[in-house]
Structure 1
Amino acid sequence: MALVLQAYTFAQQYVNSCLHPTPTKSPMALRLGVISSAQINAAAVIHPVETHPDVILYSIASRDVQVAQQAAKKYNFRKAVGSYQELLDDPDVDIVYISTPNGLHYEWSAKALRAGKHVLCEKPFTSNAEEARKLVGLAKEKNLICEEAFHWQFHPAAHLFRQILESGQYGRILRTDAIMTASPGVPDGDIRWQFELAGGSMMDMTYALSFTRYALRDAKLKDIQTATARPYKQDKRVDEAMHSLLLFEDSRDSHLIQSRVYTDMSRKWIINKIVPRMWELPSIEVETDKAIIYFYNAMMPHLYHYIAISDKMTGKTEYKKQYDGGPCWGEAWTTGGKGGKSYWSTYRYQLEAFTHKVRGKDVPYWIPGEESIAQMEVIDAIYQAAGLPVRPSISTKA
């Protein structure tokens, strides 16, 4: 479903660009360099930059200079270059967005930091936890920003979801159930199936684990009760799907929380080759003492979402939505005014926070590097519990 959601986001951002005027760019705007020509670039950073007055589309790099030139022409970048290193060597680049295959995230993020650039790196942060620790350490050493692009966490709907869970109104969290699937599935030959490039459903669909850990906040992983992978037929080291049952310990009162995380890059159709599960959007259900709380389409809530709260005592269900403002952004002044704009995508809220952080300003919400390390540690542990190898590091000088 990720590709479908991205397509809807492209359409939404295109419509919004027609309905809302392009802001005047600041003469001191941050100059963005984009490393790779990945399909995600348009939704994740290009269109958000178009509506941001403090960032300009400066340079895009591809290993095929003609591909970079085509992208530059299409999206009005000022420069196109034929190597990633050439982009990093440009002293005029201030910030870098990295959307290479998973296995190259650490290499090019580290090289960008060494070149003095702030980094917004696509998820998953790195191939494994060891790389994540090195990257976070390097960013601190260089006094630069290096942020994992879990864009959904920056959206007001995510903040409302957490506020509901932490309000105390519904008691303790007892269990969670998070899911992310692809139906139709990821096609054979896609880089997400390549073990050497850190492929696999737990890596590409790391959102499901992110939903879980975000809901539980400070809870610590205590045990992996079970982890069962459905191996990819062409490479048994790669998980086509992963069913894992995790046990977390609440940091406040030490009670245990059971969390199911299910990822599937090739989800079976309801009717084979006729009806895919198009409605099965990335979501999480949380059971508390007093309610069942369900966040539908947590990955891209700007398109459509709801948070359903089903009261166990009354049997009644209340629905909530939040497209701007909310617990974090409500009192914050943004480049779109107080609380942001209801038509902003998750990526646009993420860019707002990222640029504020780069400028040294306070931000309503942020994902610290330690969170990205912890995320990768859990992924590594799930692979090991499932009897699969941890995704490998590519040997580089980074």
Structure 2
Amino acid sequence: MALVLQAYTFAQQYVASCLHPTPTKSPMGLKLGVISTAQINPAAIIHPAETHPDVILHGIASRDINVAKQAAQKYHFKKAYGSYQDLLDDPDIDIVYISTPNGMHYEWAAKSLKAGKHVLCEKPFTSNADEAHRLVELAKERNLVCEEAFHWQFHPAAHLFREILDSRKHGRVLRTSAVMTASPGVPDGDIRWQYELAGGSSMDMTYALSFTRFAVHGSNLKEIQSAVARPYAHDMRVDEAMHSLLLFEDPSDGHLIQSRIYTDMARQWAIKKILPRIWELPSIEVETDKAIIYFYNAMMPHLYHYISITDKMTGKTKYEKQYQGGPCWGEAWTTGGKGGKSYWSTYRYQLEAFTEKVRGKNVPYWISGEESIAQMEAIDAIYKAAGLPVRPSLASLATKA
């Protein structure tokens, strides 16, 4: 359902751009370079940058100069580059957004940092935990920002969800269950099936693990109790689906939290060739001592979401939503005013935080490099428990070849 959600986001942002005036760009704005012409770019960075007064669409790169020129003309970038390195060699660029295939994230994020650029890198952060460690250390050495683009975590709805859990009003977190599926499935031939490019459902649908670790934040991954993969028929190293059971230890009192994570890039249709499971939006359920809390469409809550809280004792359910303001953004002054705008997408809130961080300011919410390392360590551990190889680094593959 990720592609469907992106399509809706394109539409939502287009309507928002028609209804709301484009801000005047600051002459001291950060000049943005986009590495790759991936399908996700308009929703993830281009449209958010259009509505941000302090971000200028400076350049976009492709390995084909004609493709880059077409994208530059369509989205009003000032420059087009026929290689990623040409973009990094441009001294005018301040910040870089990377949307290459997963397996190329580390290479181009590292090269961007070495070129003196701040980096916003698509998820998953890297191909494996070792690369994540190296990338975080490089960013620290260069005193540059390198952020994993888990955009959903920047939205006010995510912060309300966490506040509900952290308040302990409903007791301790006992278990979680996070799901992300694709129905219709990802087509054969897509790069997300390529092992060498860090493909697989646990990588591409890493949101489900992100939902889980966000809900149990501060808890330590104690054990992978079970990890069962459904291998991709054309490459048994790639997980078409992964069903894992994790055990976290809450540091506050040592109690254990059991977390189920299910990802599926080829989810069966409800009725074969007639009805795909289009209602299965990426979501997480959390059971506490006193309630069942469900965050529906946690991935892109700006389109639609709800957080339901069902009281175990009374059986009554109440629903909550949050489209602006909230626990983190409520008192924050943004480029859209206090608390942000209700029509801002998850990506727009993310860009707001990213640009403020680059400017050296305090931000309402941030994902640390250590958090991205822990996320990749958990993915590696799931693969090992499932009997599948950890996604390789492209550099090691080149050496073997």
Normalised TM-score (structure 1):
0.99
Deviation readout 1:240-292 (Å, 9 max, x if unpaired)? 00000000000110100000000000000000010000010000000000000
Equivalents in 2 of 1:303, 1:220: separation in Å?
32
> Secondary structure, in 3 states, of the residue corresponding to 2:267?
coil
Equivalents in 1 of 2:267, 2:196: separation in Å?
23
Equivalents in 2 of 1:299, 1:277: separation in Å?
17
> Secondary structure, in 3 states, of the residue corresponding to 1:56?
strand
Map 1:312-351 onto structure 2 (within 5 A).
312-351=312-351
Q: Which residue of 1 aligns with 2:297?
A: 297
Equivalents in 2 of 1:267, 1:66: separation in Å?
36
Q: Which residue of 2 aligns with 1:136?
A: 136
**CA deviation after TM superposition for structure 1 residue 234, in Å:** 0.2
Q: Which residue of 2 aligns with 1:97?
A: 97
Map 1:103-182 onto structure 2 (within 5 A).
103-182=103-182
The root-mean-square deviation of aligned C-alpha atoms, in Å, is 0.7
Equivalents in 2 of 1:238, 1:65: separation in Å?
32
Map 1:28-107 onto structure 2 (within 5 A).
28-107=28-107
Equivalents in 1 of 2:35, 2:292: separation in Å?
42
**CA deviation after TM superposition for structure 1 residue 139, in Å:** 0.1
Letter in 1 for 2:239: D
> Secondary structure, in 3 states, of the residue corresponding to 1:376?
helix
> Does residue 306 in structure 1 map to residue 333 in structure 2?
no
Letter in 2 for 1:337: G
Letter in 2 for 1:363: V
Q: Which runs of 4+ in 1 moved over 6 A?
A: none
Equivalents in 2 of 1:65, 1:185: separation in Å?
31
Equivalents in 2 of 1:297, 1:137: separation in Å?
33
Report % sequence identity.
Answer: 81
Equivalents in 2 of 1:16, 1:74: separation in Å?
18
Letter in 1 for 2:305: H
> Does residue 372 in structure 1 map to residue 389 in structure 2?
no
Count of residues in correspondence between the two structures: 397
**CA deviation after TM superposition for structure 1 residue 46, in Å:** 0.1
> Does residue 249 in structure 1 map to residue 227 in structure 2?
no
Deviation readout 1:99-134 (Å, 9 max, x if unpaired)? 000000000000000000000000000000000000
* Structure 2 residue ranges without an equivalent (≥5): none
Map 1:192-231 onto structure 2 (within 5 A).
192-231=192-231
**CA deviation after TM superposition for structure 1 residue 10, in Å:** 0.2
Equivalents in 2 of 1:173, 1:336: separation in Å?
35
Equivalents in 2 of 1:56, 1:281: separation in Å?
33
Deviation readout 1:31-84 (Å, 9 max, x if unpaired)? 000000000000000000000000010000000010000000000000000000
Equivalents in 2 of 1:146, 1:195: separation in Å?
25
Deviation readout 1:283-337 (Å, 9 max, x if unpaired)? 0000000000000000000000000000001110000000000000000000000
Equivalents in 1 of 2:384, 2:64: separation in Å?
37
Equivalents in 2 of 1:312, 1:379: separation in Å?
33
Q: Which residue of 2 aligns with 1:188?
A: 188
Equivalents in 2 of 1:173, 1:307: separation in Å?
16
Equivalents in 1 of 2:364, 2:270: separation in Å?
41
* Structure 1 residue ranges without an equivalent (≥5): none
**CA deviation after TM superposition for structure 1 residue 355, in Å:** 0.1
**CA deviation after TM superposition for structure 1 residue 342, in Å:** 0.1
> Secondary structure, in 3 states, of the residue corresponding to 1:292?
strand
Normalised TM-score (structure 2):
0.99
**CA deviation after TM superposition for structure 1 residue 168, in Å:** 1.4
Q: Which residue of 2 aligns with 1:240?
A: 240
Equivalents in 2 of 1:90, 1:254: separation in Å?
51
> Secondary structure, in 3 states, of the residue corresponding to 1:395?
helix
Equivalents in 1 of 2:167, 2:248: separation in Å?
20
